[in-house]
Amino acid sequence: MKKILSQLSDVQVVPVITIHDTNDALPMAEALLKGGCNVVEITLRSDAAIPAIKTIIKNMPDMVVGVGTVITTDQIDQCADIGADFIVTPGTSARLAEHLVKSAIPAIPGISTAGEAVTLLEYGFEVQKFFPAEANGGIPALKALSGPLPQITFMPTGGIKADMVRDYLDIPSVVAVGGSWVVDKKSLATQNWAQITLNAQKAKSL
């Protein structure tokens, strides 16, 4: 997990992406790399997700590929089998947490409350996803969580826009933020790779 934490710290803004066409995987990843972003979280929200992840892993060794919206133990195993670099969950049941502990793949399990954060800390997860960040109170809520839980490093995700990034990153416990705006739906749908590169450059500048 130390290596992933270092990579997250370097990039600071992680594009959270839902791919619907596997053919978009490589040009999208290339556009992100061109913009200075080498870490992605591809969600399991479409049938194209796993083939797209496999394609990026096979052809782009410089890209750090995380898999998001992991909600079953079978998906954890599948992520490990295809060589994903890390796993992100939106929320984390006891069964899911136990399976993540057994798996060799680094994981950033999702929480939205202090109780969930403490429970995952008991399982040994010191890096957690605060989700959905904005819907759960945003920066004030995350600061309030971080106060009594300084041993947890957070990657807040959900509803975070570009103009909010700096304020989130100013919280000492935040290593990076997830942002769907980097690979926005319109640019992906129209294959506007130049815009995605510009978005990545903007993210890097933040």
pLDDT at residue 166, rounded to an integer: 97
Q: How far is CA 161 from CA 21, 50, 85, 165, 203, in A?
A: 25, 27, 25, 7, 10
Average pLDDT of the residues in 159-180: 97
Strand partners, 153: 127
Residues 182-204 have pLDDT tens digits of 999 999 999 999 999 999 999 99
**Among 3, 102, 129, 185, the one annotated catalytic:** 129
| Structural domains for the chain | 2-205 (3.20.20.70)
pLDDT at residue 104, rounded to an integer: 85
pLDDT at residue 50, rounded to an integer: 98
pLDDT at residue 197, rounded to an integer: 98
Do 69 and 78 contact (CB within 8 A), yes or no? no
Residues 134, 42, 194: CA angle, nearest 5 degrees: 90
134 is catalytic: no
pLDDT band, residue 15 (cuts 50/70/90):
very high
129 is catalytic: yes
**Among 41, 58, 143, 202, the one annotated catalytic:** 41
Return the half-sphere exposure (C-beta side, CA atoms, 13 A cut-off) of residue 88: 32
User: Quick check: pTM over 0.75?
Assistant: yes
From CA 183, how far away is CA 66, in angstroms rounded?
Answer: 15
Give the closest residue to 116 by CA, choosing from 80, 89, 138, 86. Answer: 89
